[in-house]
A and B are shown apart, each in its own frame.
Chain A
Amino acid sequence: MTAAPYNYSYIFKYIIIGDMGVGKSCLLHQFTEKKFLSDCPHTIGVEFGTRIIEVSGQKIKLQIWDTAGQERFRAVTRSYYRGAAGALMVYDITRRSTYNHLSSWLTDARNLTNPNTVIFLIGNKSDLEGQRDVPYEEAKAFADENGLTFLECSAKTGENVEDSFLETARKIYQNIMDGSLDLNAADTGVQPKQTLSRNSGQTPEKKDCNC
């Protein structure tokens, strides 16, 4: 990651949210390292990952903040919602409770991000079809109702993981292109490379961060 050439046009900031143990960190690891980390430790606080992708011929750097899922960590992770261009909201298709909590995660995501933030719903662990607890159609209906893009993924096999991150980036890029996302506004989670400056708010406000 360190040696990556800095020839990208934008930086997009993502957050990954969702219940404990749904596989947020594994999704991130699969996306950045293309590997499944079977003994991935649980996240305490917030962790960070990055990767450069290409959308419509433009190189885009994704800065991804992976949050702890336990309820009491929300106080800490909430400050990372601000200024996120994309939010990946993850549940586990084998545990209905993680699906049932989506409305609460969605409320947070809606309230704490800006209106242009692309929220992407991910049903993880699609490789565990035999233990499925949430039907695809049901989650799809939920996503449609709330205007979310939805994919079922497997951090283990890598299925659809790439697509989820890329699709989110495409949507953000689209918003930039059609002008619905104003690059000059605050906390959009998007930074054009030329305006990269130290006070451009690419990270959560450090003074509010009680990490």
Chain B
Amino acid sequence: MSTNGVPRVIPVQPVQATARRSHSFQKQSSTEREYPAEMRRTSHSTAPLNSSSVLSTGPFKRVDDHRRQHIYEELPFEANQNQNRLPNHQESFGNSEQSRNRERHRQQLQMYEDYIVEERRRREDENRETDILNDSENEDEDEIYQAPENDEDAATSSDDPEYEELMERDRIVNLYEKGPENKDIDAWENPDFDIYYKLDRFGFVHKENENLTEEQKEHRKRVQIELSREKKWLRMIEQWQSGHPPSKLEERIWKGIPEKLRMMVWPKLLGADRMMRENQDVYHQLLLRARLVSKDIQQIDLDINRTYRDHLAFRKRYDIKQKSLLNVLAAYSMYNTEVGYCQGMSQIAALLLMYLDEEESFWCMHALMISPRHSMHGFFVPGFPKLTRFETHFKKVLKKYKKGVYKHLDKHDIPYIYLTKWWFGCFLDRVPFSLALRLWDVFLLEGDSILIAMALNIMKMHERTIKTLGIENFMEFVQTTLPNNFRYTDDQTMHSLREALSKMRSDRLHKPPPPSPDDLPELPTKALGSILSRPLATIKDEISEIQSRKSKSRPNSAYPSPYPTRRKESAKLKSGGSRPNLNRNESPSRMHSSQTTSAYGSISGLPSQVSHHANPMSTSLDVSTFSYAYSPNALPPTSTKTQQQQQQMISSRFSIRDEQTGRMVTLVRASPSEDDSPSSFSSETARIIHDRDNVTRIEL
């Protein structure tokens, strides 16, 4: 679902390729290039594969220089021209319509070929990098040729091929510049894509509006209107990208962001695109760590298993979008540790992932949490302070504007619990999806006043129904009826919502009073992404330590399920103080002190079994040598820093054979102690770590 990837890459590539290879086509005649498309197609299918067949006929000369290897790529084209010389005359027999089509077809093929060449060149380049060491071997395998550099060698059939080439290139580029508005497009070139065609179970496509219900017709009409708005939107986005938000933006968002453009507009509304630019690599680094240490992964996994499983993208277990969902949520749980993972976030992340890639989704998620307009952090953080505040305000608003409904709910003891689900996902799953998208459009624009306004709007629009419902039927109405059929069109609902919002706004009731200082904070109080200050190597060390514990404790475990064991481990990790981030006040100077001690000398005094009995808790703090002192403003360590750290670790290693197990044991110096003599090792401060690759380490 790389929705944003596809349109960016495909159109650009052929154009670039055309431009780049132009020099080698200088000698080509115009007639040569105007052979029939069919012929070109057939020759194309063989020539690139069988380059040796044209080696003898082509106007090439061999070059030995490996740096010119890329010129080899030109072969297929030259070969094609040679082969296609013969049927050239056919061109003149075609009527103009046919030839125009052929011309177009040919252009398309050419672009495709260009793309292929580009791709092959890229691969060759890669191969060259790897093969650079055994040049001599390549000499025999690779025939390296070069197109003639001399004009006289080949230019025979055209007055000015260079000019021809330029014109042709310009024409193609221009076609793309003009875009789909171009008058010179045949009907067949734009296949009548109507994804609303209905395929029956026998495989027949029903093209016409046969048997459409009124509702379906209405839906079709709405889609048509939306499509007609796209052009305006594209122009507006262009304007927006070069400056301030356009004046019409708000108005148009209320009418609904075109489905295709949500992927561009949503991150922009949230300022997530800027966040992403300013925090390059943060997501990636978080993800690396989250996959190793996020404590919320188990809960996230449980919820991924039941998040939009009826959506194509999330249907298949562990499929690509489910993986993205895990990544985004796990990374976020490490970034904003106060929120971590809360039920309800998986729907939001899934919604974002329907439109955006992982990293964009991550930053949109974060913007939703902390931006002043949305601050969903307050909803999801334990204690749900914002929920309480908003609920109180909603009751006030409901009482003011819809007293009848308020009294009815009161009379029937109907609790306000439904607000939780309404607000945590901004009405996702509680109204039809198309309406939820419209609500999300304006939620991103206006902020959380939409939440209260829409709750009020539902009460307003369904006032008559609600007043007839007791608690059971009311709950059913909210849980089942409204999500399936809201009973009003999306446009009607949005119109009514806007009215409600502006009414509330004019009464200054669209926002609840701010949180009082006594309430739980609704925004993060801890620094974001503090995990980034810990090098990956340290984290990995901890993991392997935990693994070593597990291998020790396994024989005692009566129930070999991974779940409880894992939980116990994480509990140990927490209580045992083995997490170096507990040592945040560690002097920063310590962490850079490079102890390039050589081998520790004989460790014969250390009985091999001692390390096995060593208490890992007692020595775990030693790892702090490799952790970074914590500072909220500290940048995440760069990869070079981490490498330094690793270097440092490697430099204080010493390998011996573990006599008990017969395996190699690597002693790693974990803390720069003042006394370097081997006698300072004691059983209390040693701990053994079993790596996956059968290397055991004792940390001293």
Q: Tell me the smallest distance from the CB of B322 to a CB of chain A, in Å.
A: 13
Binds B, one of A106-114, A145-153, A197-205: A197-205
- Chain A residues contacting B472 (CB-CB under 8 Å) are 1, 48, 50, 63
Closest CB-CB distance, A22 to chain B, in whole Å? 9
By a CB distance below 8 angstroms, the chain B residues around A95 are: 561, 563-564
Is residue B384 within 8 Å, beta carbon to beta carbon, of the partner chain?
yes
Does B419 make an interface contact (CB < 8 A)?
Answer: yes
- Known pairs A39-B306, A210-B388; A44 contacts B563 (CB<8 A): no
- Assuming the A-B contacts A44-B344, A72-B382, A198-B411, are A211 and B387 also in contact, with contact meaning beta carbons closer than 8 angstroms in the complex? yes
Answer whether A70 and B342 are a contact pair too, CB < 8 Å, given A95-B561, A95-B563, A97-B564.
yes
Contact with A along B417-428 (1 / 0, CB 8 A): 111110011000
Q: How would residues 280 to 305 of chain B score, 1 for a CB under 8 Å from any chain A CB and 0 otherwise?
A: 00000000000000000001001101
B420 in contact with A38 (CB, 8 Å): no
Of residues 82 through 96 on chain A, the ones whose CB sits less than 8 Å from some CB of chain B are 94-96
Chain B's nearest CB lies how many Å from the CB of A71?
A: 8
Does B26 interact with chain A (Cβ within 8 Å)?
no
> How long is the Cα–Cα vector from A210 to B425 in the complex, in angstroms?
17
Q: Does B170 contact A (CB under 8 A)?
A: no
Q: Which of A42, A206, A211 contacts B303 (CB under 8 A)?
A: A42
Q: How many residues of B contact A (CB 8 A)?
A: 45
List B contacts of A5 (CB < 8 A).
none
Instruction: Give A211 to B418 CA distance when docked, in angstroms.
Output: 7
- Picked from B299, B306, B417, B476, the residue with its CB within 8 Å of the CB of A76 is B417
A1-B476, A72-B382, A206-B410 in contact; A45/B563 too (CB < 8 A)? no
Q: Judging by beta carbons under 8 Å apart, are B343 and A73 in contact?
A: yes
**Contact, CB under 8 Å: B342 / A211:** no
Considering the complex, give the chain A residue whose CB is closest to the CB of B412.
A198
Determine if A57 is an interface residue (Cβ-Cβ < 8 Å).
no
A131 contact set on B, CB distance < 8 A: 561
Assembly CA distance A200 to B557 (angstroms): 51
Contacts of B347 in A (CB 8 A): 41
Q: Which of B387, B411, B413 has the most CB of A within 10 A?
A: B413
Question: Are A41 and B561 touching (Cβ within 8 A)?
Answer: no
For window 260-315 of B, CB contacts with A under 8 Å fall at 299, 302-303, 305-307, 309-310
Which A residues are in CB contact (< 8 Å) with B346? 42
Q: Which residues of A contact B299 (CB under 8 A)?
A: 20, 70
| Bound form: Cα–Cα A76–B387 in Å | 10
Of residues 135 through 188 on chain B, the ones whose CB sits less than 8 Å from some CB of chain A are none
Contacting residues, chain A, for B343 (C-beta < 8 A): 20, 42-44, 68, 70, 73
Whether A75 is near chain B, meaning CB under 8 Å from some CB there, is yes
Q: Is A144 an interface residue (CB 8 A)?
A: no
In the complex, B602 has a CB within 8 A of chain A: no
- Give A residues with C-beta under 8 Å from B: 1-2, 20-21, 38-48, 50, 63, 68, 70, 72-73, 75-76, 79, 94-97, 100, 131, 133-134, 198-199, 201-204, 206, 209-211
Known pairs A75-B382, A95-B561, A133-B561; list 5 more (Cβ under 8 Å): A41-B347, A72-B384, A76-B420, A211-B416, A211-B420
CB-defined A-B contacts under 8 Å, sample of 27: A1-B476, A2-B473, A38-B309, A41-B307, A41-B347, A41-B429, A42-B346, A44-B343, A44-B424, A45-B418, A47-B475, A47-B479, A50-B476, A63-B471, A70-B342, A75-B384, A76-B417, A76-B420, A198-B413, A202-B471, A203-B413, A204-B415, A209-B417, A210-B384, A210-B388, A210-B391, A211-B416
